[in-house]
Structure 1
Amino acid sequence: MPQMAPISWLTLYFIFILTLFLFLAQNYFTKIDSLEKNSKSIYKSKLNWKW
C-alpha cells in the first residue's frame, strides 16, 4: 500500500479541523436561536395565579 505524501496529510488534517469548527459553530448558533425562541415563548405563557 503506497504511503501518503506529507502534503496530503496536511490537507486531510485541515479538512477535518475545518469540518470540526463548522460543526461546532453550527451547533452553537442553533442553540442560541432555540434559547431565544424558548425564552420568548416562556414569558408569553406565564400565568399569574390568584389564590
Structure 2
Amino acid sequence: MPQMAPLYWLYLFIFFLSILLLFFMLNYFIKPYNNMSFISFEKKFFSKSWKL
C-alpha cells in the first residue's frame, strides 16, 4: 500500500539514528588509537647518545 511508505521511511530514519548514536557512543567510550604517544617513539629510536 502506498500509504505505508512514510512509515517505512520513518522506521528507516529511526534505525539510522539509532545506529549513528551507537557508533558515537562506542567511539566516545572506546577511543581508537589515541593512546599511542609519539614522544615515546622518538625517545625509543633517537635517545641513543653516540660517543666518539
Output the TM-score relative to the length of structure 1. 0.56
Please identify the structure whose Cα radius of gyration is greater. Answer: 2
Structure 1: unaligned runs, 5 residues or longer:
1-11
Structure 1 stretches of 4+ with a deviation exceeding 2 A read: 45-51
Which deviations, in whole Å up to 9, do the C-alpha atoms of 1:21-48 show, x marking residues without a partner? Answer: 00000000111011100111118x5345
Structure 2: unaligned runs, 5 residues or longer:
44-52
- Sequence identity, in percent? 5
More helix by share: 1
Match of 2:3 among 3, 14, 30: 14
Output the TM-score relative to the length of structure 2. 0.55
TM-superposed CA distance for 1:13, in Å, is 3.3
Q: CA RMSD for the aligned pairs?
A: 2.3
- Equivalent pairs counted in the alignment come to 40
